[in-house]
Amino acid sequence: MANADDGMVVGVDVGGTKIAVGAVRSAKAQDRVERPTQVSSTEALLDGLEATVNEVIRTAGTPAAIGVGVPSQIEYSTGTVETSVNIPLTGVPLRTELGRRFGVPVFVDNDANCAALAEAQLVPCDNLVMLTLGTGVGGGVINSGRIFRGAHGLGAELGHFSVNADGPPCPGNCPNHGCLEAYCSGQAIERDATELAEDKPGSRLARALGEDGKVSGRELVSAAEEGDPDALLIFDRLARMLGVGIAGYVNVFQPELLVIGGGLSRASHLYFQRAVQEAASRALPALWRRAQVSLARGGADAGVIGAGVLAAQEVQEASRSTPAGARRDTGQAMTTEPEGVE
């Protein structure tokens, strides 16, 4: 059995449909367990999460700390969930609640931040920007090896940067127009495909209209792979706007590496090269020369690894700022109450 002294942490990746948990050591996940996310109530979700983590702890031992990534906006210092779209966590003081249940320090962050941290560890590199193209567009920024969060942990919303003041309304919970999310997300391309299908009865996309009156992302990808010009046009626009975004983020953050991840990255053969060309023609040359753009390495364990690495970094930081005599007992040296971490 492992114990709290050997640097093992537990990483938890909470998704809308499943919770993945693993023991994380040296940016590798072991003893991985995956269970459906209980979304009927906050209590049910937390009980399910607790049971899944305990399964891993029974095999791997007691961790020094637990890191949790959630698809939510998080106020990092308190670990309180600000908003959460698909799971019942809005307003929940998650860090305190889970700290009480597990009796070890818990750290809670946005899942896109955790994914970016995992990427930075896997490469490895210290300055990285990650864009996650899924239903929406998420992002994470790693600056000198650490997650950049802004004042309260709510920053780095890279999908909600507008690249066109008069663009389409943002499909996210966002009042802006022309956000990257309005062009480069699953929701955005399904919207575009559906509009085109309605405008062109008899076209390939019109034939792909589903019973819900929409063209799904999957259908759109198939049409583009068959060479349908309407579908290709949609991916062309996505690529162009993504390139504008990449150039902007390279200019602002000067990452060594910018990676594209998320579900839509599986269709990257339809837009990635074109996006990089667009970015190359727009980014400041001195920064572009020093930056690389690639697909995320990710993999199924990235969320678990990122959450674990976050916890490990926090434990390390606390042990550095704690007197040597107190270091052995990480449970006391760090409390789960933010005001106790002094």
Binding residues for Zn ion, rule: CB under 5 A, are: 160, 170, 172, 174, 176, 179
Q: Are 179 and 199 in contact (CB under 8 A)?
A: no
Q: Which C-beta is closer to Zn ion: that of 99 or that of 172?
A: 172
Shortest separation between residue 160's beta carbon and Zn ion, angstroms: 4
Shortest separation between residue 170's beta carbon and Zn ion, angstroms: 3
Shortest separation between residue 187's beta carbon and Zn ion, angstroms: 11
Shortest separation between residue 137's beta carbon and Zn ion, angstroms: 8
Shortest separation between residue 164's beta carbon and Zn ion, angstroms: 12
Q: Which C-beta is closer to Zn ion: that of 174 or that of 206?
A: 174
Q: Which C-beta is closer to Zn ion: that of 172 or that of 245?
A: 172
Q: Which C-beta is closer to Zn ion: that of 99 or that of 139?
A: 139
Residue type at position 105? P
Q: Which C-beta is closer to Zn ion: that of 97 or that of 190?
A: 190
Q: Which C-beta is closer to Zn ion: that of 90 or that of 164?
A: 164
Question: Residue 192: what are its φ and ψ, rounded to 5°?
Answer: -60, -40
Q: Which of 17, 80, 88 is nearest to 46 (CA)?
A: 88
Cis peptide leading into residue 124 (ω within 30°): yes
Shortest separation between residue 192's beta carbon and Zn ion, angstroms: 16
Question: Residue 49: what are its φ and ψ, rounded to 5°?
Answer: -60, -45
